[in-house]
Amino acid sequence: PKSETRKGNVYVPRDEEFSPEKEDYFLRKTVGSVLQAAVPAAQSLLLDKLKWNLPFPSFFVIDKLFEDGVELPGVDKLNFLESVVPRLLEHLRDTPAEKILRFETPANIQDKFAWLRDEEFARETLAGINPYAIELVREFPLKSKLDPAVYGPAESAITADLLEEQMRRVMTVEEAISQKRLFMLDFHDLFLPYVHKIRSLDHTTMYGSRTVFFLTDDGTLQLLAIELTRPASPSQPQWRQVFTPSTDATMSWLWRMAKAHVRAHDAGHHELITHWLRTHCAVEPYIIAANRQLSEMHPIYQLLRPHFRYTMRINARARSALISAGGIIERSFSPQKYSMELSSVAYDKLWRFDTEALPADLVRRGMAEEDPTAEHGLKLAIEDYPFANDGLLIWDAIKTWVQAYVARFYPDADSVAGDEELQAFWTEVRTKGHGDKKDAPWWPKLDSPESLAHTLTTIVWVAAAHHAAVNFGQYDFGGYFPNRPSIARTVMPVEEPVDGAAMERFLDNPDQALRECFPSQVQATVVMAVLDVLSSHSTDEEYLGGEQTRPWNSDAAVQAAYDGFAARLKEIEGVIDGRNKDRKLKNRCGAGILPYQLMKPFSDSGVTGMGIPNSTSI
């Protein structure tokens, strides 16, 4: 059947548009990055015009992306970009075909071989770009909640004996669980229903996966095991296998490939759920409801407005080229055309407002428990958890500022409950912005200054700090794509029924088999370019606690509270710098380890791996 085709940009109101300075920076940054990606992509297309599936011929060629310049082919050979970033093509035509320099070297490859190490794989679950995925193992054996009649046996193939062997018998699994020392990345139930759908597409594959870690005595995580699962189908039974570190040559290469699959799963989870769904998408109902229900002079509108800056425009840009049908996400991430469907399913099953607050999120995942005697009122399951350690400092600073602001305008419960504009705003967020969840019991009621302050703190946290934590390190951690491939394109060579020829090729050249599993030349370089853009601060960035967004009124109490907020954020910068130099904190300090700076409030422009803008602005 015929369907509509979108033409032109997605409309947003004029007061949501980028400033001329932001537009100019965004355009220059985007054109430059896309040109960098266009060079190897166009060269690849010259060899294979029908499919974007050529792997990199060697790791040496991957390294050259950061070391050498290459000639820009004629613009006529870049027409493939029209389907990816059409609005840039005219700017590309105006760009002289001179030698393009190179991608900037990502900060995370100061240790060039870190991506191969299990320790770095584990460390990035706590101090990387997706610190929202790791969770405590609370029961064993691990079990799926999916229907076993459809997907196969629910109980995991990861056994207690296998884990205890990897832990070198220092304790039993039962003891490790009781001591809160087993953790996991659980991408099993989320991805498993999509495995066969995704496998029906060309040049991609999918598994459900579970990855288990052990908390060692020095506070770091040891990677124990990876389980990959293909569900049953009408023609095949369920297949699953557990992979572990090994000194055997063949098993060692299989282990590297299993890690590549999990990294691709984590990349998809990060981009589609932790990043797009939980920040960009979730903030939109707040923006729309505030503009519809709150007058511009309303004190809560004035508080929130800086945290909505540019979000509608950047989301419109994303819908035009990034998450659109046939866009960059669908071309370059494992779920491909099922990406937005998967994100929507995750919203239905996982999203709830009350657990978007950082403390509640940590408790939900078992990464913390409430403890009134502990700092921030929480006891972390892993003491050296850089995202949580620094994030809670920011959360408390935001909370203190918002509480003081609310107290100035709402002295008691009646003043909150009786504010018709405020109540209309929150009703619209719940009933229109989240109509399918409007009757859920977990929605907070705005019936007291305390509930109002907590709700507003959560909104500010999501728009500013949550987004900063999962956005501005994307190039540092994913720019060197073997560390964080966006897609895994080939099945494990031992998957049954075993393809004998593929297995022989793997045994003969495992290095090539791994590169064929990684993103193609086109996919990798386009994603690298996009991550470079998304990780950049523009020259007109407005940061949390900055002077540009000082409250408009001259109320002494409000101004004093904001001064305290800004001063506290500057103190936090110093605390974070000190933590990054503390060698006892092995998850953020050590030889070749990238310091954790994503919760540092302020930054210069460009790709810096730090800085918390007020809003989800890129």
Active site residues: 275, 280, 467, 471, 618
Q: Which residues of 175-187 are buried (b: 16+ CB within 10 A; e: fewer)?
A: ebbeebbbbbbbb
Backbone angles phi, psi at 59, to 5 degrees: -70, -25
Backbone angles phi, psi at 18, to 5 degrees: -65, 150
- Rounded distance, CA 416 to CA 422, Å? 8
The torsion region of residue 190 among left (phi > 0), alpha (psi -120 to 50) and beta comes to alpha
CB atoms under 10 Å from CB of 61, counted, come to: 13
* Nearest residue to 299 (alpha-carbon basis) of 544, 557, 17: 557
Backbone angles phi, psi at 607, to 5 degrees: -90, 105
Consecutive H or E run containing 64: helix 59-64
Q: Report CA dihedral (114, 118, 120, 123) to the nearest 10 degrees.
A: 180
* Nearest residue to 534 (alpha-carbon basis) of 594, 462, 598, 616: 616
Burial of 546 (0-12, 13-18, 19+ CB in 10 A): middle
| Residue that the structure tokens 């540009």 belong to | 548
- Rounded distance, CA 533 to CA 103, Å? 12
CB atoms under 10 Å from CB of 455, counted, come to: 22
Those residues with Cβ within 8 angstroms of residue 381's Cβ, 6 or more apart along the chain or in another chain: 136, 180, 183, 215, 366, 367, 368, 369
CA end-to-end span of the chain: 36
Task: Measure CA 515 to chain center.
Answer: 23
- Rounded distance, CA 10 to CA 314, Å? 10
Which amino acid, one-letter code, is at 514?
L
- Rounded distance, CA 131 to CA 270, Å? 9
Strands 182-187 and 135-136, how do they pair? antiparallel
Backbone angles phi, psi at 225, to 5 degrees: -160, 150
- Rounded distance, CA 613 to CA 441, Å? 32
Consecutive H or E run containing 61: helix 59-64
Burial of 284 (0-12, 13-18, 19+ CB in 10 A): middle
Those residues with Cβ within 8 angstroms of residue 615's Cβ, 6 or more apart along the chain or in another chain: 283, 306, 307, 308, 309, 310, 311, 463, 464, 467, 542
